[in-house]
Amino acid sequence: MILDYVLLGFLIICAIGTTYAKRLLDTVIIFMAYSSVMAVIWALLESPDLAITEAAVGAGVTGILFFVTLKKVHALKGTRD
Amino acid sequence: MKNDAGKWEKFFKWINGETTLDSVILAKSRRKRFLKRKLRQQKAQIMANKLKRSKRKIENVICLIVAAIFIGILLYTASGLPICGRWENPANNEVTKRYIEKGVEETGAVNLVSGMILDYRAFDTFGESCVLFTAVICVAILLKRDKNNTDITEDTETAEDDAISNADGNLILKLSAKIVTPFILLYGIYVILNGHLSPGGGFSGGAIIGAGLILYTTAFGQESTRRFFTYETFKKISSGCLLVYCFSKGYSFFTGGNHLESMIPLGKPGNILSGGLILPLNICVGIIVACTMYGIYSFFTKGDI
Amino acid sequence: MNLILNIPFFSIFLAMFGGIVTVLIKKGDNARRLHMTITSITAVLSFILLLYTYYGRQRFTFMMGHFPAPWGNELKAGPLEAMFALLFSVVMFLSIGGGKLLIKKDVLPEKQGFYFIIMNMIFGSMLALIYTNDLFTAYVFIEINTICSCALIMAKDSGNSIIATIHYLIMSLLGSGFILFSIALLYSITGQLLMPQLKESVTLLLQSGRYNFQLTIIVALFTIGIAIKSALFPFHTMLPGAYDSANTSSSAVLSGLVLKSYIILLIKVYYCVFTIDMIRSMRISNLLFFLGLCGMVAGSLMALKERRIKRELAYSSVAQIGYIYMGIGLGSDLGIEAAVLHIIAHALAKSLLFIVVGRMKDVSLSQDYNHCLKCAAHKDPVAGIGFLVGTFSIIGVPLFAGFASKLYLSIASFISPVKMAAALIIIAASMILNAMYFIPPTVDIWSPVHVGDGNYGPRAKMSKSFVMACVAFIAINFFVGINYKYIVHIVELGIQLMG
Amino acid sequence: MLKFLTENHYEAGAIILFGIGFLNLLLQDNLIKKFIGLNIMDTAVYLFLVAQGYIVGHTAPIAQAGEAALATKFVNPIPSGLVLTGIVVSVSVTAFSLALVLRLYKKYKTLSLDAVLELLKEDKEDESNP
């Protein structure tokens, strides 16, 4: 029960965090954290199928796609520039 | 006048054979394009700054208020909904009951979710695979290299990046990729094959395999993946799997719709070879998803598979 | 085993199958031929289905799989659905045929195959939206529609088209979010997803008086979602840019069919899940009526101000969508019948206008300002005549398709005095505005460049496919405009069977 | 209201997340953040749906072979299935929209939607009075 509240609170903080993060890299990382927590919530809600899918897709593939995009639009500091 | 003089000079040069016409024109157009792009970039910057200050603020406040009211209404709506987690909720009705109690017997799948999405409500899932297919086609339209979509600076950048990553060897990445990739692929295959027995299934397994392929590509470069996975194989494999999916689902819809007996045995629930069409469908979906994920990634990075 | 009952299932799968097979086809021309074959087969099949359901006076369900209604997916087809399938396949066939040359010109050769994949997929998903009997399936196919329509806009691959696509995508995704949320809410209070079962439980809930507020919110969310996707007046901002920068066939399909497929889904949901009385008592219909009226006037006014002809057509679409929503907002069977009639008339007229304008742009100086289209009609007279027919149909001149629907809209508005007054005044005003914004381009098109010397410029090379498509469109337009009684019969029967 | 927050906390959280995602999608100027907002909005609806299917004390819907499956033992499998479909859809949409963003950046070298729209307006003005 308390765990639910903690996780939900974390989700909301992450969601607000994506709005206010200054660098795009931070935004994407926060979003990936959001997805991982979401996977935990699916597991708590007794839907392991969703948990696996969300972990593989939300935190995995979507994250990779966002990172590739950031690299292509030169929003990653330190790799070039 | 000044401009004209420049033109005359070039003309004389051309007559004297110092330059060719092509190079003059090319250089000119290239410079023009470059200048235009730079101008655009600057303009975009100025615009962004200017707009941020003035108009945006008022709009934002209005939107915030509207959205707050909207959320309030939704919260009020939800507060009247049935309490979460109770057995008596309307969502747990005769449909759920049949899915759970008869599911194993009727679909042959022990994982009831799998049985539900690939047998009871298979049309949705067919639509879902079509969404994925459409998305990868759209990404291909947008990002596959062609004459509208080539950028010299970007090409040089990617080439440089490749050179850097080849030069320093990336030892840690390569070694770990070498060790980890087989296990990732194996796990993905396990998840796909056990889709009807345990959590997971075609989609999650396919995404895992796709991630494994992506890891392999980042470590060893696209050339190494191209040895066994080119654009042609991508096209053939994904459309072939979708066709198998389309036909097998078409068969079961056709027999179902016309009240015919399906010829496919369900097998003994719990065995790996059970669940009628669910296992082959899961394999098809898995392959499609793996190809799609890898395809999208390579379109994003290199513009080609 | 009755093979006719398989037609809905078969036509959806045929289109999807075509889309998948097209990946393997290398040449764009072959892909186009495959697509046109599929649409023509679907047209023939839908016509058979229409005859079968109309004379049999029935609406049947088709199980998708081995499980009946509350457990498995279902398709449902009656005269109305069959008629829409027929309309969609015919308009699709003619738009592709008419815009054939421009597709070749605008889309890069190596990507034409992809373009036709998308066309096949969007065709299949629109058919699925017409036939489906399940809300969640509808959502999935709405998403296919969204992605495909964005792909059609950006197929031309210019800077403008990418921006327009992003705008279109964001608006559409907002709409999808609303629709998905309303489906989730509905599921939480009924526990069903198929329309007949939903209807039962919604009626029970209404009688018991529980969840009344929730039901209103659900209907409102669903309606707003569909309204955003089908570009009802305050949400129309994405249309002009999208149609302006898209390829001719894409604009014809998007404006003629894709927007309409959402409205058809809305009508289906109003009849098969909620009842039309319920919509009226919730006052959602009044909202739609009001927005429809606003759209009719505002769309026409904006079109009047516009100088680019494709944008003008887009704003005119906004006005015509306003007519359709006004018909739905009347909240009676008659109003919905009129709206359906207007959907048909507008699909025919607007697709014709788009392919004609594309052709004229092609033969003239190939810029889309009105004054540059000057003399275009002399270069290709068929296009000029097509433009006239399209405009007359949109304005609502008798003998053309638009007349019948506007007549029925006015008749349907007799339901309540307030609505009648508003509707009649606005319809009259909007018709005048329609005529006003179509006069300048028409004059431009038909006026020669040098008055007096008879120098109309060389005739453009005739394009056989365009002429055929254009003539077919004109013929269908006249057919609908003259024999509208038959169509009204079909629509009446369809609505009766649905309710 | 407070009772609702304690009893239906998943729904409440889902709606708040939906609102945040909605606002992001609507107001964010940066396109990447906009599409992240879209993803948040989608997952919020999925959370709402799955919470409808959860039943306290029941386990995940995976039957044991050979045992009779009882409806009083497992949670509702329908929302899980629907959400599985939904996740795929939202991944597809995300990939498509990111591809669009890439093309936009290649052309205009910016990620700000407002700036791009403004540029588009200027282009049009240039064209109309040459």
- pLDDT tens for residues C274-325? 888 888 888 888 899 999 999 999 999 988 888 788 888 899 999 999 999 9
For residues B164 and B170, what is the distance between their CA atoms, to the nearest angstrom? 9
For residue B126, give both structure tokens: 């067919």
Taking the C-alpha atoms of residue B187 and residue B189, their distance in angstroms, rounded to an integer, is: 5
Asked if B208 and A56 come within 8 Å (Cβ–Cβ), the reply is yes
Contact D101 A28 (CB under 8 A): no
| Residue C474 confidence (pLDDT) | 92
Is residue B88, in this structure, part of any structural domain at all?
no
Beta carbons within 10 angstroms of residue C479's beta carbon? 14
Token readout for C196 is 């007949």
B73 in any annotated domain: yes
Both B297 and B223 in one domain: the answer is yes
Higher pLDDT, C335 or B165: C335
DSSP string covering D61-128, please? Answer: SBPPTTSPP-TTTB--HHHHHHHHHHHHHHHHHHHHHHHHHHHHHHHHS--BHHHHHHHHHHHHHHHH
Nearest CA in chain C to B232: C24
Whether B99 and B75 share a structural domain: no
End-of-domain residue from the set B45, B79, B113: B79
Instruction: Note whether residue B275 is domain-resident.
Output: yes
Residue that finishes a domain, picked among B55, B79, B103 = B79
Confidence band of D99 (pLDDT split at 50, 70, 90): very high
How many structural domains compose chain B? 2
Q: Do B175 and B272 belong to one domain?
A: yes
Q: How far apart are alpha carbons A54 and A42 in whole angstroms?
A: 8
The CA distance from C98 to C85, in Å, is 20
Residue D125 has a pLDDT of 58
Terminal CA-CA length for chain A: 48
Inside any domain, residue D65: no
Of B46, B79, B112, which residue is a domain's last? B79
Counting the structural domains of chain D, the total is 1
Residue type, C465: S
Smallest CA–CA distance, residue B18 to chain D, in Å, is 35
Domain region containing C118? 3-498
CATH number, domain at D28?
1.10.287.3510
Q: Does B205 map to a domain?
A: yes
Across chain C, mean pLDDT equals 87
For residue D61, tell me if it sits in a domain.
no
CB B37 to CB D8 under 8 A? no
Q: Is there a single domain that holds both residue B149 and residue B284?
A: yes
- Mean pLDDT of all residues in chain D? 83
Mean pLDDT of D14-21: 90
Q: Do β-strands C60-64 and C73-77 pair in parallel, antiparallel, or remain unpaired?
A: antiparallel
CA–CA gap between residue B301 and residue D121 (Å, rounded): 31
Closest CA to B278 of B101, B95, B121: B121
Q: What is the pLDDT of residues D37-63, one digit of tens each?
A: 999 999 999 999 888 888 888 888 887
Q: By residue range, what is the domain housing residue B125?
A: 94-301
Q: What is the pLDDT of residue C51?
A: 92
For residue A41, the chain D residue with the least C-alpha distance is D47
Q: Going from the first residue of chain B to its last (305 residues), give the mean pLDDT of each consecutive group of 10, the final group possibly shorter.
A: 56 57 58 76 76 72 86 86 79 83 81 85 88 91 81 77 71 87 92 86 90 88 83 90 90 85 75 79 91 91 81
In this prediction, residue A80 carries a pLDDT of 45
In a domain, B87, yes or no: no
Is C225 a residue whose pLDDT tops 90? yes
B86 in any annotated domain: no
Q: Tell me: do B48 and B115 sit in the same domain.
A: no
Instruction: Kindly tell me if the per-residue pLDDT of C210 is higher than 90.
Output: no
Q: For chain C, what percent of residues have pLDDT higher than 70? A: 95
| Chains contacting A (3 or more CB pairs within 8 Å) | B, D
Q: Are B213 and B294 in contact (CB under 8 A)?
A: yes
pLDDT at residue C458 in the model: 66
In the predicted model, is pLDDT for residue C216 greater than 50? yes
Strand partners, D62: B111
Q: Which chain C residues are Cβ-neighbours of B74 within 8 angstroms?
A: 217
Q: What is the pLDDT at residue B15?
A: 59
Instruction: Please choose, from the candidates C388, C431, C441, C386, the residue with its C-alpha nearest in 3D space to the C-alpha of residue C407.
Output: C431
Domain presence at residue D15: yes
Residue D48 resides in a domain: yes
Q: Could you give the number of structural domains in chain C?
A: 1
> Do B130 and B40 share a structural domain?
no
Residues of chain D with Cβ-Cβ distance to C167 below 8 Å are 117
Top-confidence residue, D112 or C49: C49
Q: Are residues B223 and B189 in the same domain?
A: yes
What domain range is D108 assigned to?
Answer: 2-56+70-128
Q: In whole angstroms, what is the distance from residue C373 CA to residue C375 CA?
A: 6
What ranges in B16-151 are assigned the alpha helix state H? 21-53, 55-79, 94-107, 112-115, 122-143
**Closest alpha carbon to C392 in C311, C495, C314, C481:** C481
Name the nearest CA neighbour of D107 among C239, B142, C103.
B142
pLDDT score for D123: 67
- Does residue B30 form part of some domain? yes
- Position B52 scores a pLDDT of 64
pLDDT band at D129 (very low <50, low <70, confident <90, very high): very low
- pTM for this entry: 0.90
| CA quadruple C100, C104, C110, C113: dihedral, nearest 10 | -10
Touching check for A47 and chain B: CB below 8 Å? yes
Cα C184 to chain centroid, rounded: 27
Separation CA D126–CA D130 (nearest Å): 6
Percent of chain C with pLDDT over 90: 37
- Say how far residue C476 (Cα) sits from the centre of its chain: 16
Contacts of D61 in chain A (CB under 8 A): 46
Which residues does residue B111 pair with via DSSP β-bridges, in sequence order?
Answer: D62
The chain A residue lying nearest D108, using CA atoms, is A73
Does residue B272 sit in the same domain as residue B124?
A: yes
From the candidates A29, A57, A69, A72, which should be mutated to test the interface with D, based on the most D CB atoms within 10 A? A69
Overall average pLDDT of the C434-454 stretch:
73
Name the CA dihedral angle for C123, C124, C127, C131, rounded to a multiple of 10 degrees: -170
Residue C331, φ and ψ in degrees, nearest 5? 70, 30
Q: Looking at the structure, tell me whether residues B33 and B119 fall in a common domain.
A: no
Q: What is the predicted pLDDT for the residue at C449?
A: 64
Q: Does residue B257 belong to any structural domain of this protein?
A: yes
Hey, which residues 12-71 in chain B have their CB within 8 Å of chain D?
Answer: 37, 40-41, 43-45, 47-48, 51-52, 56, 59-60, 63-64, 67-68, 70-71
The token pair that represents B150 in the structure block: 């080539």
**Which pLDDT does position C456 carry in this prediction?**
53
CB B71 within 8 A of CB D19: yes
Reduce the DSSP state of residue C459 to 3 states and report it.
coil
Contact C159 D89 (CB under 8 A): no
Indicate yes or no: CB of C154 within 8 angstroms of CB of B246: no
Residue D21 lies in a domain: yes
Residue D82 lies inside a defined structural domain of this protein: yes
Burial of C257 (0-12, 13-18, 19+ CB in 10 A): buried
> Which residue in D has a C-alpha nearest to residue B118's C-alpha?
D81
Residue C124 has pLDDT above 90, yes or no: yes
Please tell me if residue B198 touches chain D, with a CB cutoff of 8 Å: yes
Question: In 3D, which of C424, C243, C246 has the Cα closest to residue C350?
Answer: C243
**For C234-280, how does the pLDDT look when each residue is reduced to its tens digit (9 = 90+)?**
888 888 888 888 888 899 999 889 999 999 999 999 988 888 888 88
Q: Which of A5, A52, A67, A69 to mutate to test the interface with B (most CBs of B within 10 A)?
A: A52
pLDDT digits (tens, 9 = 90+) for C13-70: 999 999 999 988 888 889 999 999 999 999 999 999 999 999 988 888 888 888 887 8
Burial of B264 (0-12, 13-18, 19+ CB in 10 A): middle
